[in-house]
Structures are given as structure tokens and as C-alpha cells.
Amino acid sequence: MMFKAYIASNNALISRMLNAACASNHLTSFFYSEHTDLMSDLQQSQPDVLFLDTVSIDVDLYSFIRQLRDDETFSSLYVVLVSRKKISSGIIHESGADASLCVPFSKTQFNAVTRNILKEIRQVLIATPSVKEISVLYKELVTVGYEVYIVQNVEEMLELTRRIIPDLILCNEILEDLTAVDVCKQLQEQPAIKTIPLMVLAKDCKAEVIEAYLDAGARNVLFLPLNMNKAMSKISVVAPPPQKGRRLRALVIDDSSMVRNLICTMFKHLGYLVVTAVNGKEGLTAALKFKPDIITCDYDMPVMSGWEFCVAASRDDSINYIPIIMVTARGANVDKQKGKVLGIAGYLTKPFNEADLTKSIAGAVAAAKLRMEREALSKYISTDTLKNVSDVIDGVKEKTPEDKFITIFFSDIRSFTPKCERLGAAEIVSLLNSYFTKMIKVLQKNNAIIDKLIGDAIVARFDSGFPEKDALDAARAALQMLAALDEFNKDSLEPIEIRIGINSGNVILGNIGSDGYRLDYTMIGDNVNIAQRLESQAPVQGCLLASSTYSLIKNLVDVGGICEFALKGKKEKVEAYSLLGLKGQN
């Protein structure tokens, strides 16, 4: 993918320097001409990065960048201020820019500024006297997608950082005759690299030692021998691995331009596309349109406060799943408790630094990812199986097998195999998915637990603990499914007919399977088999109720005459009734 850079400068020397640097980094350059309108030119060229000369271009810096930020066309535009003097981070954040570049600049400095634009591989520098000790970590980092450099002393480290500016330094607690504290102090004396986050690889876990590392500027400590999951989790917070799939999106809502721009810059460093709003009302509009992956929101704002925004967002199903970090000067416990009421994912108290913000973002995103993984899993395993797994993870004792009286529900599509012979694979999958979606909504509306899907069959159970209620819920679900199927067939590419069988009785509920492979929390027993056999004997577009189910709700349902069925595996015939409707309903 070719990225585009726009060089806004009337200084020929600066333009040539930037163009040469862009060319060496595979950036296509566009140039400003004093005879053109800068904003119009940017809209036409749609660059990924804007190099804005703060001296030779005659624009009001703050208002121009604000105009860019207000235009959705430039939501992902990376703005770099170019100057002959170093620009403070305060001015960068206050103006709304993302970075600065001081002329003249080295290749290393240019690469450090453009890495986030080019989405280059994250670079990790490991300083350790024992390569063997970190060999597993090295392999894991490379596998995930990091570019890893290993040095064995401070001299090698400083020499390497003249050529590259890594995203993270991992430093052993002892490096030749220097401690990690000494190394931190030396790095602080190097302007080009003092902002690089550093983590210490330590065997010594005494509280006072760890405190000394943190006081010296270390971002975190990884204890040796490494717990790889914990180590990679800490590393990914500071230097996120290369992104796969679409870029994540963030919405920043704050009436303070400086705070807003600071948070925007942080998100961009993490690879996010960013949209901003100056109050809750604007933020709500942006959230509904932009559908971000995460939101940061100030508490005290005009027009609509952060609290009012969170209330509105929590009531809208299209955005209430998005994690929100509240950014505020209100640090009291009661404010945090109020936030929990609305499900706020994080609480960041002003003043805060970049490390605090990064930690809050990581925590909120991790929680949201866990929730999304749970939601994704729920599509593949039954609800109570998922709850059982969560209970085991949380330390709750695993469910013991139980003998329980429930109502069992089977439905199956009639003559589905011939349909498969007529339709292509994509058409079959589309037909089944549409059918399952409609039918499962009906079942869940009537309190069913979807036990499993077997081919074109749906297996469900009703086990609230109240036998009459379960039987009635199952009967109602069957009738509603048949009615819903009539509507479904009006627009379906292939009409579907089903049979339904319902039985009530004792079953065994428990984790069935292999501890070493897979367990499924499901039901087994003779009454399950009876429900399945009744389904196979049911009339097309009809439902058979076992006498055990009918006896529970006989005053609530209308049925046909009693029938006896000789079912496979049963010596005695099974009595059942054809379900016609619910009493009192046409």
C-alpha cells in the first residue's frame, strides 16, 4: 500500500529535504503552491500525513488544525509541525498536531515520526547479558510480528539507537557493571531516546528494588523466569503489536482542546482512527455515526455533560456496548461508583500522564475484547455451557451432574437432503442461517435454552424449575415457530417445512465429553430420545406433545385426539397429542 504525504512549505530547502525523506520511506509527495488554497488542495489529494511548515505557511496554526479536525475527511490525517526550532509537547497537543520535526533532521528522527503513519512493524530492543535467558521471549515477539534487536551492554544500546528508535526497551536488571537504575538515568540524558518506554527484566522482586526502578523512569517490570502470557500482555500495552484486520476507531469527547488533542495523539500512536467532539451532544451524534471501538469522555462539559452522554449512550442498543473511559477531575469514590452504575469501563482522574492513559485504554479495550469474545462464543456453545465455563474460570465449583425434570424440544426440517442436492453450498448455508436466526429468536423469547444445533435440527430445553411453566413455554414456542415459518416462507428462496416433538421428564444434565479434548454441558437420557422420536413422527408443519407434557398443561392447550406410537428402542407404545393451539386464542 502506497501512503501519501503533503508538504506544506514555501521554503524550497525544507521541501526538498522532506521530499527526499518521504521518497526513501515510500511516501508519495504532494506539494503546496502559494497560488492554491491549502484546504482545497488537501481535500483533493487526501494525504495520510501533512508536514506543515510553521514559518513559511501563512495560516493561523490553531484554527487551521481545528478546521482539519472538524472535517471527517481528515479523521485519520497525521499532522506533523515542521520548524527550525524544537516545538514543545504542550504546543503540539494544544494545537491539535500529532508530532513535530525539527529541521535539519536525521533519517532516524524522520522514521520515528512517520512510523505510526506507515504502520511499520513495532521494534523492541532487548539489552541482556544472557541471550539464552530471553530466547523464548524473543521467539514469541517475532511470532507475533515484532522486529527484535538484542544487545549485551549499554554502549551497544546507545549505538543502535542512533540508527533506530525502538518502540520499547527491555533491559536486564544488571548490564555489565550497571544496574537498570543506572541505565534509566543514562537514557534520560539522551534527548532522542529518553521518551522510549523501558521495562526491566528482573529476578529480584523486593519491594524497595522495584520502587527504585519505577522511580528511575521504568514503565514496568517483567519478572524472571518469565510468565509469557503476563509478559506479552504488559508489552502489548506499551507497544501494541501490528494490527490485523481493520483499524480500530476512537471517539474523544472533551471541551478542552489541549486534553482532547493529547488523547487524540495517544490513540494515533496506538494505531487508532480518531474522531473528536467538544460536548456530549456532538459526541452522541459522532458515536451513532462513527461506531467507535472505544470512547473517552470528559465529565464536565457544556450543552451535554459526560454523565448525560453516558446515560444516553447506555439507552441506545446500537452503541451501549462501546467501552467508555471517563476523564475527569472528580476522583471521589462516589463518582466512580456512579460510573459503575452506567457500566463505564474506566475512570481517568486529571491530571494524568501518557502512561495512565495507555493503561486505562488497555484495560477498557481488554474488557471489551473479553466481552466480545464471550458474545462470539455464545454463538457456538449453549448459554449455560458458557456460564459453566465462566464459573470454572472464576473459581466457582464445577457443576455436578444432576437428575432434573425438564421439558425437551426437538425440531427438524422435512426432506432437507433433497434441497441440498438442488442448491449450491452458499445458498444452503444462507437458507439455514436465515431459518435458524428466525426460529431461535422465537425460542429464546419463550425462555428456551438452545442446547445444540445438529445439521438442520434444533435441540432446546426448558428447565426453569417450574414444570408447568416450562411445558407451556415449549408449547407456545412451537406454535409461534410454525407461524413464523409461514411468514419466512413468503420470502424464502426455498420453502421449509418442519416437524416438532416435545416431551417432559427427568434427564441427566452435566458436562459430557473428554477432559482432555472437549466438554459440552448437555442433557442425556430416555426422555431426550422420546422427544427426538416424537419429532420424527409429528405431522408436517405440526407438533406432537408427549402425554407427560400434555398432563402438565391440559387445561391450557387445545389438542387433537390421543395417538399411540411405537418408538424405536421402546418396548411400550408412547402416547402423544397433536398440538393445535392455546386455549382462549384463535
Helix (H/G/I), strand (E/B), else coil: 303: coil
How would you classify the pairing of strands 178-179 and 27-31?
Answer: unpaired
Specify the domain boundaries for CATH 3.40.50.2300 within the chain. Answer: 3-118, 123-238, 249-377
Under 8 Å CB-to-CB from 337, ≥6 apart: which residues? none
| CATH code of the region 123-238 | 3.40.50.2300
pLDDT truncated to tens, each residue of the chain (586 aa)?
568 899 999 999 999 999 999 988 888 899 988 778 888 899 888 898 999 998 888 788 888 888 887 777 787 788 899 998 888 777 777 777 888 899 998 887 888 787 766 656 678 999 999 888 889 999 999 888 888 999 999 889 888 888 878 889 999 999 888 899 999 988 888 876 777 889 999 998 899 999 999 999 898 999 998 888 888 888 887 787 766 555 678 899 998 887 888 888 778 777 777 888 889 999 999 899 888 888 999 888 889 988 899 889 988 888 888 888 888 776 556 666 766 666 787 777 777 776 777 778 777 777 776 666 666 655 555 666 666 666 655 655 566 788 999 999 999 998 877 776 777 788 888 888 888 889 999 999 999 988 888 888 999 999 988 999 999 999 999 999 999 999 998 887 788 899 999 999 999 988 777 766 666 778 899 999 999 999 999 999 999 999 999 999 999 999 998 888 887 777 788 899 999 999 877 5
DSSP 176: T
Length of the chain: 586
The torsion angle over the Cα atoms of residues 411, 415, 416 and 418, rounded to 10 degrees, is 180
**pLDDT value for 477:** 96
552 in Cβ contact with 471 (< 8 Å): yes
- Give dist(CA 442, CA 528) in Å, integer: 21
Instruction: Considering only CA atoms, give the Rg of the chain.
Output: 32
Residue that has been written with the C-alpha cell 541482556 in this structure: 128
CATH architecture for residues 3-118: 3-Layer(aba) Sandwich (3.40)
Multiple choice CATH, 385-582, 3.40.50.970, 3.30.70.260, 3.40.50.720, 3.30.70.1230: 3.30.70.1230
**pLDDT value for 51:** 94
80 in Cβ contact with 112 (< 8 Å): no
What is the C-alpha end-to-end distance of the chain, expressed in Å? 63
**Structure pTM?**
0.52
Helix (H/G/I), strand (E/B), else coil: 112: helix
What per-residue string of b and e applies to 372-396 under the rule 16 or more CB within 10 Å gives b? eeeeeeeeebbebbbebbeeeeeee
How would you classify the pairing of strands 498-513 and 402-413?
Answer: antiparallel
- Give dist(CA 145, CA 115) in Å, integer: 15
498 in Cβ contact with 481 (< 8 Å): yes
80 in Cβ contact with 118 (< 8 Å): no
Specify the fold of 249-377: Rossmann fold (3.40.50)
